Structure 1
Amino acid sequence: MQVETSSSKYGIKHYPDAIREWKKEGNYFCFYTTETILEVRVIADKIIRFRYAADGTFQRDFSYATSDTLEESPIVFGIKEWEETFEIYTDALKVFIARDNLRITITDKDGKVINQDEMGFHWQHYLQKGGKIVYCSKLVQEEECFYGLGDKPTDLNLRGKRLENYGTDAYGYQKDTDPLYRNIPFYYGLHNGIGYGIFFDNTFRTIFDFGKEREDACSFWARGGEMNYYFIYGPELLDVAASYTRITGTPELPPLWTLGYHQCRWSYYPDSRVREIAAEFRKRQIPCDVIYLDIDYMEGFRCFTWSKEYFPDPAGLIRDLAAQGFKVVVIIDPGIKVDPEYSIYQEGVKNNYFCKRADGALMEGDVWPGKCVFPDFTNPEVREWWSSLFKGLAETGVRGVWNDMNEPAVFEMGTFPEDVRHDYDGEEVSHRKAHNVYGHLMSKATAAGMKKYLLPNRPFLITRSCYAGAQRWSSVWTGDNVSSWEHLWLASIQCQRLAVSGLSFAGSDIGGFIGEPDGELYTRWIQLGAFHPLMRTHSASNETGFNQEPWSFGPDYEKIVAKFISLRYELLPYLYTTFWQYATHGTPMLRPLAFVAQHDPATHNCTHEFMMGDALLISHVSEEGMKEKAVYLPQGQWYYFWNDTVYHGGQQVTVATPLEEMPLFVKAGAVVPRYPVMQHTYETPITEMLLHVYYGDTITQSTLYEDAGDHYGYKNGQYNVINFKQASSTEQFMLKKKYFVNYETTYSHHRIILHGLPFKAGTVLIDGEPLTLTAEHHLPDGTISFIADRGFENITIHKA
């Protein structure tokens, strides 16, 4: 029988007893106790899945998180029997399973402990609501740090925290508010230079305790479902991130314009106001690609309609905006107004598409349109219907959709009652199991519809709520934040955390959604937002009629804001390359310093500094009136972006922070591709690609990825991957290039801008052809600038 010990308000806790038998089938290993079954599945040499059947019967093996393309590819694996344990081994790991209680210890090949059960798996009956509460507790290793869990607005290192996943409309949330909008049950552990991850794939309310209750124990549990988790070994944290994204899926490449600047407000209406906003951007020469329409574009807040008063000719408006280089994104919420004259409501009722209560009554609740019903997105037939509704928006010219209120949020009630029923792809469950995937599946259906009707163009989707794996089809933002300096700091933390939780395509409401920033706060937020994958200003309507556009704070602030938005556009080829790396390899676009220098303990609690891609290190200004800032730099050499001062890493340095600058560093040896200044991503064909090359005396690799920036030709090989290698010394500069080229660019040459050359340059050799440097090649800022054909393979500069 099971070992029964301590009791709580939920009843007796049950623990597995001794293993009675075991069997192996392919890459599965099953261990049987009196009642509990442990299934160990070797996914890859560094990915092991653990799954427990508490009462001897496994539930349906089904996941909304895992990718359809996940392949099981262990190279070497097997099992050994010892007196006290079983040992499952791979080419990278050893998994020891105790014979007397199923407790697990995982080591590397050399026997170093990576992760170890404390009490391990246990469970208890959920007497109040049915089912089981399933637990797993692990020992906290010496000096262990924890990261991940999505959008939690708290310290980057989660040690000492207890947090839960239960999607919540957290309007005006503050530091340490929990839970929040997203539900990402994945975390990292780091100790003794060893990184690993645990993905607990369970959609019920899940709780994670990182040593808060007991300092030596890390626990995670769910109020229903199975104990089913993936263990992911690094040992490098970035390798863990890539493996997690392998499990939950990588995104498609977004259209290039989505990496430009987005302007949003609750709400821009009528259409004349939208035209005014667009005209101001072009008149003031502030780059912008996207304008959003919030709920007021609809007829009485009815989804998939247009207000006859405010937007009498939406297709004409969108066509005119497109001629100026703007794309339009519209909001769609899940609440469908109860209105017998409303066709969407009629269809949903007729076909039984809306969620129902346990007694069979429709789930009704008040949202923006008044009384609403809500589609059951866990039903594949409903998802297909929902996708079909986007045909009209796509034909009108809408290029992107913004899913909001999909935790789901309901006025007064907060969210759905737990007795609401869901199809759950044929399983029929209560809202307890479906809550955390409701917005996830709404966004999946939305993305599918927009993709279908926008072909051959790529769609854009942004969602407020989701579950693990949503990066396959959506971007996210950090929700209804506040215009405050603390929230500026939180924006940086949350976007770093989202990135390492698989959701790199993320940003915050620049300036804060609630309240009114002053010019300094807005400017500093724009500076941070310029280095987030999603750059969007968004604000709420208010009694004063305050508008939050880049020119709203006077000409002095406008000039600096325009400078940073313009810099964002110059860096688009670098950002797009970084997104390609994320989409191809699963590496996060934003990287906390602990993820790029995990062997340096000084980085483990760094929150202000982060990397965007391989080369840029950012440390935003998050305090009012700050005149200088201390910045920690990892090992290596770093150029200060604004003046090319070189700093040695492995230490904290102090830099001045005038309002027109923010701490921004470039890794020595890097090649950073840049565009000329532009007003939107398709303003004119690019005639010249700038390559900013930063001298370094260690071998450094850089990459430039290129494609058409829209449509799906890249999936058929229509793209370029250009790899740069700098191998310079104090006597010679050398840059080599190798490339795969299958896309014809609009530019024919590169402008090389060389930073920090430590010696007087002699002749430049471009593929063996000499170029004599003259005064015109030496720029006032100390850089050297010259032209090279797009097809160059080798540039050498010898010391004069």
Structure 2
Amino acid sequence: MTKIVQEPPQCWRMRRFSCLFAPVSLLLLCVAGTVHAQWNPLNPVVSLERESGGVQLTLQYGALRLEVCSDSIIRVRYSPTTPFRARPEFVVIKDRWPATKWEMQSAEDAIVLSTSLLKVVIARKDGSVTFQDSSGKSLFEQNEVSMTPTVVNGEQTYHAELYSKLWGSYESFYGLGQHQAGVWNYRGEAVDISQDNTNISIPLFLSSNGYGIFWNNASRSRFNNRFLNALYLSSEVADVLDYYFLYGPEFDKVIGGYRELTGRPPMFGKWAYGFWQCKNKYNTEEELLGVAHKYRQLHIPADNIVQDWFWWYTMGEPVFDKARYPDPPGMVEDLHKNKFHLMISFWPYFRPGTKTYEAMDERGFFIDKTKVGAFHPAQMGLYDAFNPEARKYYWNLMDQALFKIGVDAWWLDTTEPETEDRETNILVTNKTYLGNGARYANMFPLMTTSAVYQGQRSASDQKRVFILSRSAFAGAQRNAAAVWSGDVNSDWVFFKKQIPAGLNYSISGLPYWTTDIGGFVSGNPDDAAYRELFIRWFQFGTFNPLLRVHGTRSTNQNELWSYGSDAQKILLSYDTLRYRLLPYIYSMAWMTTSQGYTPMRGLVMDFRADPRTASIGDQFMFGPAFLVNPVTEPGANTRRAYLPKAKWYDFWTGTSVEGPRTVDAAAPIEKLPLFVRAGSIIPMGPAKEWSTEKPEDPIELRIYRGANGDFTFYEDENDGYNYEKGAYATIQFHWEEGKQTLTIAERKGEFPGMLADRSFEVVFVGANHGVGIVAEGKPDKVIRYSGKQTTVTP
């Protein structure tokens, strides 16, 4: 049962602003609006030169260049010297843009660049830059920039800083990767943009004003809005201050712009969207295979099993310990026969005492080595992922020992890279193949995932790359790299923090994220309190882009049957739901690849105009249909949830309610409060034990009436890269609320193995009809479909 909570709109408006902003007098706002630089000299425009793609301005100190990339993307660079120093690009891969219509007007007080969507105003008196929408509304101000000479790791360079005045702005900020402070809205916060275990730094933030800033710098950087009315962006090492202004105003367009710069995420094999079984760690071939076989014996859906670390004799040399893994090719063959895929852990560290270590050391492939033995031995080396030859060598090790025997996916651990006993990243105090490591301190995960992605793509086009990395940087999405949230604790506090962490990571432009369900350290499956936590975490994980259990357990058991029969029943139900939703999830994956979509979505992504959503970081949309409300308190039987403006259906009962409103949703241990937005069309496939066990036929097509709706159903060969050559098919569904008509459009495209004929079991969802996990026994219409357009009415 869902209890509706009445709350006057003025209450939450007042609460939101009182939480974020102290009262500011009108006089102070007026004065702040006229304040100029006080501690830094003004930097007026001295001259300007129009270029084919933008304008370069000579300032009293340095030069400013604005490049019109598109009608919604402007690149801004400031250099303390002229000409602009050329530098290699590793993150941004788009260097040519179609011609965009734009105009420049030069007046006594300002230079104005205009596209169809933006106006950019450069003040002559101080060189400040203001971005406006086409109506003249101010979006973002670059009030001051500075480049301060400094020496970092022996290199003469600059510290770069941008100041943006925020007086009078009530905008909210999101993104910057994944961080563990439990914060969703970064207004009034400061974030270090540097890599650590559980903290993944992406230099992109989005504003509720409808824009994003991609800060194009790979050194340690900082987003500082601790004082609400001032935003500072800074970097430790820079030749040029460089950023892209990305306009939406919708967040999907902003993210699409980021991916246009840094690359699109490719499709994973369909199996990757199923269930991943993992723990710390399987110790023998016999144990690993035994678990896989038991999953099939118990008919628990699963597609993937993971071999964590120490399957080797020596870290870095990919040779199985034959005493524990006597027949690796046979092990992989057995898993494949049982329809399991195998992911295996591989690290960027190489311990001494092997021929591999000696060969890499002789060729200068190490950035640094440990000095004292502890968990790792002395002289263990970190490989130089910035060296193209070292990257090739690294992939060749994996290819020869693992890929060639059929290993399907790669778990790249400690890709920050891990430092353990010191705060400073190893790169900051060392040299790499590219030079000063501090200049590229955040970029290691991009480079090492590039090694594996490019290596596998060159080896085969029959198996899609899948990488699970503990860290990432801008651009890693193009390398088929997903991440997990790192080694988080097994408790309710850290579980709750994973929700805003995952939402901010997703809104940073990298779409594939997951966690160690149950936490990494440490849980006891025999403890009733921990079982409750694991169930709630699994419910949340069912609606993550990837569904994966992992962690250290006191019983050394982490399979779905390890938590007792009552828990197993609940876990199995959500696992089954995940598999029934694969047509929906796989279609979302195609939207992510082809349309710049994001599967796991903070409410602000779809309800940006609703100020209530600005600071809600514990609810989210999973695709266009599902509003997910994780239960993060022990012993809870209800869950308070905010429903934005729309008609919402309870997934479990089919009853509906109009938003905006707050409700107390029923949340017994077996139920995750789950709502579906009116206008949604959800394709659900048959129950199955692995992703490709049977065709997605029949499709139960659940229609949630109350608003117009569309959904594109996508299919391909489920693996391989023929989809990049056009080997796929789509079927467009459209619900017309006014005419109460569902249109199933003509199928577009084809691929080998495509079902020529199929059934759609159409269900118009209502109270106790078309609800929950099990297929509706009495569909409203059954449509035989052979690729031609057809219409359906209730």
What is the TM-score normalised by the length of structure 2? 0.89
Whole-Å Cα distance in 2 between the matches of residues 208 and 531 of structure 1? Answer: 30
Residue 789 (structure 1) aligned with residue 775 (structure 2): no
After superposition, give the CA deviation of every residue in 1:141-200 in whole Å (9 maximum; x if it has no partner). 521101110102232110111011121235xxxxxxxxx2x220100112xxx3100010
Instruction: Output the amino acid matched with 2:496.
Output: W
What is aligned with 1:95?
120
* Deviation (angstroms), 1:783: 5.3
Residue 216 of structure 2 is matched in structure 1 by 201
Q: Is the 8 A contact 1:629 1:654 kept in 2?
A: yes
- Where do 1:300-699 residues align within 5 Å? 300-339=314-353, 342-355=354-367, 368=376, 371-392=379-400, 393-413=402-422, 415-416=425-426, 418-424=428-434, 428-429=435-436, 431-473=437-479, 474-516=481-523, 518-540=530-552, 544-683=554-693, 685-686=694-695, 688-699=697-708
In 2, the alpha carbon distance for the partners of 1:186 and 1:732 equals 42
Distance 1:146 1:49, change over 3 A: same
- Say which of 192, 203, 226 aligns to 1:164: 192
Q: Distance in 1 between matches of 2:356 and 2:287?
A: 29
How far the C-alpha of 1:109 sits from its partner, in A, is: 1.5
What corresponds to 1:186 in structure 2? 204
Give me the whole-angstrom Cα distance separating, in 1, the residues matched to 2:140 and 2:161.
16
Residues 714 and 731, structure 2, Cα contact 8 Å, conserved in 1: yes
SS at the partner of 1:786? Answer: strand
The match for 1:218 among 222, 231, 250 is: 231
1:621 Cα deviation (Å)?
1.0
Alignment correspondent of 2:750: 742
Check whether the contact 2:255–2:509 (CA below 8 A) recurs between aligned residues: yes
Cα offset, 1:792, TM superposition: 4.6
Match of 2:762 among 733, 747, 753: 753
Query: How far off its partner does 1:407 sit?
Result: 1.3
Any idea what SS the aligned residue of 1:20 has?
strand
Aligned residues of 1:700 and 1:727 also touching (Cα < 8 A): yes
- Which residue identity lines up with residue 607 of structure 2 in the other structure? A
Cα displacement (A) at 1:124: 2.0
CA distance in 2, matches of 1:74, 1:490: 44
Could you tell me which runs of 5 or more consecutive residues in structure 2 were left unpaired when the two chains were aligned.
Answer: 1-35, 525-529, 770-774
- Of structures 1 and 2, the one scoring higher in RCO (CA 8 A, sep 6+) is 2
| Residue 309 (structure 1) shift | 1.4
Percent sequence identity over aligned pairs: 26
Q: Report what 2:736 is aligned to.
A: 727
* Aligned counterparts of 2:244 and 2:329: Cα–Cα separation in 1: 48
d(CA) in 1 for partners of 2:507, 2:428: 31
Contact 2:317/2:350 (8 A) holds in 1? yes
- For residues 136-151 of structure 1, the aligned pairs below 5 Å read 136-140=162-166, 141-151=168-178
Q: Which amino acid aligns with 1:750?
A: S
Per-residue CA distance 1:655-704 (angstroms, 9 max, x = gap) = 21111111112222222112211111132x31613132324243211111
CA distance in 1, matches of 2:584, 2:670: 22
CA distance in 2, matches of 1:716, 1:642: 40
Structure 1 residue 499 displacement after superposition: 1.1
What do residues 103-128 of structure 1 show as CA deviations (whole Å, max 9, x unaligned)?
1111111111111234x212323367
Give 1:241 deviation, angstroms.
1.6
Change (3 A) 1:45 1:278: same
Using the TM superposition, give the Cα deviation of residue 445 of structure 1 relative to its aligned residue in structure 2, in angstroms. Answer: 0.4
Structure 2: distance between partners of 1:551 and 1:750: 35
Cα distance, 1:747 vs structure 2: 6.8
Question: What is the alpha-carbon distance in structure 2 between the residues aligned to residue 123 and residue 464 of structure 1?
Answer: 33
For the residues of structure 2 that align with 1:371 and 1:547, how far apart are their CA atoms? 34
Q: Which amino acid aligns with 2:218?
A: T
Q: SS of 2:488's equivalent?
A: coil
Q: Which residue of 2 aligns with 1:359?
A: none
Secondary structure, counterpart of 1:724 in structure 2: strand
Q: 1:539 to 1:641 in 2, by over 3 A?
A: same
**481-490 vs 89-98, greater mean Cα deviation:** 481-490
Q: Secondary structure at the match of 2:306?
A: strand
Distance 2:684 2:372 in 1: 50
Alignment partners' CA distance in 2, 1:370 and 1:790: 65
- 1:567-623 CA-to-partner distances (Å, cap 9, x unmatched) read 101111111111111111112111111110111111111112211111121111111
- Asked if structure 2 preserves the Cα contact closer than 8 Å seen for 1:756 and 1:783, the reply is no
**2:563 counterpart letter in structure 1:** F
Distance 1:579 1:15 in 2: 50
Report the AA paired with residue 512 of structure 1: G
Given the superposition, is the C-alpha separation of residues 363 and 418 from structure 1 closer, same or farther in structure 2, using an over 3 Å criterion?
Answer: farther
CA contact (8 A) 2:583 2:683 kept: yes
Aligned AA (2:395): S
Distance 1:370 1:254, change over 3 A: farther
Q: Is the 8 A contact 1:75 1:91 kept in 2?
A: no
Residue of structure 1 equivalent to 2:21: none
Separation of aligned partners in 1, 2:518 and 2:630: 14
- Give the secondary-structure state (helix, strand or coil) at the position aligned to 2:162: strand
User: 1 CA distance for matches of 2:637 and 2:778?
Assistant: 26
Per-residue deviation at 1:282?
1.4
Assess if the C-alpha contact under 8 Å between 1:122 and 1:135 holds in 2: yes
For residues 146 and 79 of structure 1, the distance between their equivalents in structure 2, rounded to whole angstroms, comes to: 30
Compared CA separation, residues 156 and 575, structure 1 to 2 (3 A) = same
**Tell me, what secondary structure is at the counterpart of 2:689?**
coil
Give unmatched runs, 5+ long, in structure 1.
7-12, 171-179, 357-361, 761-778
2:146 paired residue among 109, 122, 125: 122
Whole-angstrom distance in 2 between the partners of 1:723 and 1:259: 22
**Separation (CA, whole Å) in 2 of partners of 1:85 and 1:780:** 65
Return 195-204 or 303-312, whichever deviates more.
Answer: 303-312
Aligned match of 2:299 in 285, 288, 291? 285
Q: Aligned partners of 2:421, 2:262: CA distance in 1, in Å? A: 34
Contact 2:273 2:585 in 1 (8 A): yes
| Secondary structure class of the residue paired with 2:383 | coil
Residues in 1 aligned to 2:135 and 2:197: alpha-carbon distance in whole angstroms: 47
Taking the aligned partners of 1:382 and 1:326, their CA distance within structure 2 comes to 31
Question: 1:73–1:691: structure 2 CA closer, same or farther, 3 Å change rule?
Answer: farther
Query: Is the 1:46–1:93 Cα contact (8 Å) retained in structure 2?
Result: yes
Per-residue deviation at 1:545?
Answer: 3.2
Other structure's SS at 2:97 match: coil
Structure 2 residue 98 is the aligned partner of structure 1 residue 73? yes
CA distance in 2, matches of 1:545, 1:796: 54
Structure 1 residue 346, shift from structure 2 partner: 2.6
Q: 1:783, 1:161 → 2: CA distance?
A: 51
C-alpha distance in structure 1 between counterparts of 2:658 and 2:668, whole Å: 22
Label 1:372 to 1:271 Cα distance change in 2 as closer, same or farther (>3 A). Answer: same
Is the contact made by 1:461 and 1:475 (CA closer than 8 Å) also made in structure 2? yes
Q: Is the 8 A contact 2:681 2:704 kept in 1?
A: no
SS at match of 2:201: coil
Q: 2:179 aligns with which of 152, 159, 172?
A: 152
Q: How many angstroms apart in 1 are the aligned matches of 2:272 and 2:490?
A: 24
In the alignment, what sits opposite 2:717? Answer: 708
1:14-33, aligned counterparts within 5 Å? 17-33=43-59
Partner of residue 59, structure 1: 85
Count of aligned positions: 740
Equivalents in 2 of 1:256, 1:561: separation in Å?
21
SS of 2:404 mapped into structure 1: helix
Would the aligned equivalents of 2:370 and 2:379 in 1 still touch at CA under 8 Å? no
